[in-house]
Structure 1
Amino acid sequence: MRVAFAGTPDFARVALARLHAAGFTIPLVLTQPDRPAGRGMKLQPSPVKQFALEHGIAVAQPRSLRLDGKYPDEAAAAREALLAAQCDVMVVAAYGLILPQWVLDLPRLGCLNIHASLLPRWRGAAPIHRAIEAGDAETGVTIMQMDAGLDTGAMLLVERLPIADDDTTATLHDKLAALGGRLVVEALELAACGGLQPVPQPEEGVTYAHKIEKAEAQVDWSQPADAIARRMRAFDPFPGVSAQVRGETVKLWRGRALMQGRGSVAPGTVVAVDASGIGIACGQGRLEVTELQRPGGKRLAAADFLRGFPVEAGERFDS
């Protein structure tokens, strides 16, 4: 089976590596154009491009695939490359571009998407973040037959995964990336013998995982402590959760919710300080913050943070 691949970040690289290791012929990879990154803001290839180049796989990086769009020449070149690749199927994972109908129709088996949620819950851009933020008990990976809608295609394979109490987006991402890589190999092996059975998504239970915005990093102390603690895990490693104290923006990376013991003080007020953490009053309960970071500094355990930035009860962490 000849497999075209479209993806960009590390989540997609894991799947590409599994497909390569499984022995599928991969004549072409589509990925986003190189982006500036790092202190020098030099152009950096995506993780998918890096893997493809290391393994001698041809790469195309169109800014759009719309033949009638802003970059028609790039889209036309990508179309010629896909036609020349003579692929049976395209696997898509966190590519970042909308696939027009001509792409969906080109491979004889269509386009299969690796989606990091239990569809139809958390369609959209940030399913891992939003599942943790919402307090979901489980998530998983859905291999989906792509159509023209936003994550609306029929489900081909689904596998569930519990969300641990200490999972962050970083840790859950790695688990789901590994699961997605294994599951898409299984899907292609079944497709080769006609063993995939598409199942339409339920009409009920649809939710959208909207893109994470930097503005969401500001903590809202009027929320319950457990909701803030979930957001801290959901926004680790990006964009983090932050608050202002003594004129500095401090990142709050880890903490635990204590749903009793806030007292009558205003939300955002420090109610307890010791080596284990900084207790901050919330709308309900209090949050014991155990890992923090000052601007330009490293993430530090509360005891180390307090040695360089002593905080006392009665001070406020403002939104």
Structure 2
Amino acid sequence: MRIVFAGTPEFAAEHLAALLSSSEHEVVAVYTQPDRPAGRGKKLHASAVKQLALKHAIPVEQPSTLKDVDAQAQLAQYHADVMVVVAYGLLLPQAALDIPTYGCINVHGSLLPRWRGAAPIQRAIWAGDSHAGVAIMQMEAGLDTGPVLLSRSIEIAVDETSASLYGKLADLGPQALIECLADLPKYLADAQVQDEHQVTYAKKLSKQEAQLDWHLPAAQLERNVRAFNPWPIAWLTTAAGQVVKVWRTEVCTGASSKAAGTVLRADKQGIVIQTTDAALCITELQPPGKKPMPVNDFLNGRSEWFPLDSVLPGVEHE
């Protein structure tokens, strides 16, 4: 088939690479977001998808919107059988969705209808889901609302981070995409309408949300640390006001009557903080201007950052 591919980050580039290595299909154009300033010099930086497309001499389109008629006319000139969309980052109006012969299909990093929206991989870990996966759907004008053509599921490991799960789904998604395209008319005919009663939304992450809130259960905080890795990275403020990033934690057994945020212990085994229901043991941290390090290295010269029985500042609640 003649394919127009639309995507932006590395996750999307993995899917484009799979299409380019397939002898069954021809990628006739690539759509990606406009180049963005990046790095200290704020120089314009091409997306991972654009870089891969240029290496293969594929035409690259970077409209700021697909809502105007000129952009839609350009898309129509490629005479695509299907448009494959993976983490593109721009909304496609119905007029654009209707241009390819078979419409547009999207590879989404969740088991739809669970976790529609911007951060499905992270929210699966954040919520404590047992499984994650990818779903290929026919796109509609709504947010991830289209019928599902194909789903593939994997188990979420107990120590899974968003970074590790992202990598697994970047392998799983391209395989599912190639399988779906091999018999696309059949998959379209058999597509399953999403159950609206099962819908959940994966809202964007924020640096503010990544602050450890000691009034949450310890198990939730442990999941937060894994869900917010590699971005925005969980963080806390010490009793003396230093902001420290937190990379690895575990839930401690045993009860304490001390207030949430109290430092119960700080030694080479971990920094143990009371939460609303249990204790959280921090085993890997990152001080300002340094790389992440084991707790033993962190406390070497910084033990006064976590005085015994001090209460760490928490999230302010209205």
TM-score (norm 2): 0.94
Give the CA deviation at 1:275. 1.1
- Does the aligned pair in 1 maintain the 2:116–2:200 contact within 8 Å? yes
2:245 to 233, 244, 251: 251
Give the CA deviation at 1:100. 0.6
1:275 to 261, 268, 276: 268
Please report the RMSD computed on the Cα atoms of aligned residues, expressed in angstroms. 1.3
**Cα distance in structure 2, aligned partners of 1:136 and 1:194:** 31
1:204 to 197, 200, 205: 197
- How far does the alpha carbon of each residue in 1:11-50 deviate from its partner, in whole angstroms, 9 at most, with x for none? 1011000111113211111101111111222111111111
Give the CA deviation at 1:276. 2.2
Partner AA of 1:253 in structure 2: W
Instruction: Give the corresponding residue for 2:14.
Output: 14
Instruction: Give the corresponding residue for 2:28.
Output: 27
- How far does the alpha carbon of each residue in 1:194-234 deviate from its partner, in whole angstroms, 9 at most, with x for none? 45421111122110001112211111101110000000100
**Cα distance in structure 2, aligned partners of 1:316 and 1:44:** 43
Q: Percent identity?
A: 49
Instruction: Give the corresponding residue for 2:220.
Output: 227
Give the CA deviation at 1:149. 1.1
Aligned length: 309
Instruction: Give the corresponding residue for 1:99.
Output: 92
**Cα distance in structure 1, aligned partners of 2:35 and 2:126:** 30
What are the residue-to-residue correspondences of 1:113-262 with 2, within 5 Å? Answer: 113-191=106-184, 194-196=186-188, 197-245=190-238, 246-258=240-252, 260-262=253-255
Give the CA deviation at 1:303. 0.8
Matched, 1:313 2:314: no
- Does the aligned pair in 1 maintain the 2:149–2:187 contact within 8 Å? no
Give the CA deviation at 1:261. 2.3
Once the two structures are overlaid, the 10-residue window that deviates more, 306-315 or 98-107, is: 306-315
Once the two structures are overlaid, the 10-residue window that deviates more, 22-31 or 260-269, is: 260-269
Closer/same/farther in 2, CA of residues 31 and 289 from structure 1, 3 Å limit: same
- How far does the alpha carbon of each residue in 1:106-140 deviate from its partner, in whole angstroms, 9 at most, with x for none? 00111000011111110111101111000000011
- Does the aligned pair in 2 maintain the 1:262–1:282 contact within 8 Å? no
Instruction: Give the corresponding residue for 1:71.
Output: none
- How far does the alpha carbon of each residue in 1:261-304 deviate from its partner, in whole angstroms, 9 at most, with x for none? 24111111111122121111110110010111112211111111
Partner AA of 1:317 in structure 2: L
Q: What secondary structure does 1:28 align onto?
A: strand
Matched, 1:42 2:36: no
- Does the aligned pair in 1 maintain the 2:207–2:232 contact within 8 Å? yes
**Cα distance in structure 2, aligned partners of 1:43 and 1:172:** 29
5+ residue gaps, structure 2, are none
5+ residue gaps, structure 1, are 68-74
Write out the 4+ residue segments of structure 1 that deviate beyond 6 Å after TM superposition: none
Q: What secondary structure does 2:198 align onto?
A: coil
Instruction: Give the corresponding residue for 1:85.
Output: 78
- Does the aligned pair in 1 maintain the 2:111–2:153 contact within 8 Å? yes
Q: What secondary structure does 1:27 align onto?
A: strand
TM-score (norm 1): 0.94
Instruction: Give the corresponding residue for 1:287.
Output: 280
Closer/same/farther in 2, CA of residues 18 and 308 from structure 1, 3 Å limit: farther
**Cα distance in structure 2, aligned partners of 1:92 and 1:44:** 21
**Cα distance in structure 2, aligned partners of 1:31 and 1:269:** 48
**Cα distance in structure 1, aligned partners of 2:78 and 2:8:** 19
Partner AA of 1:28 in structure 2: A
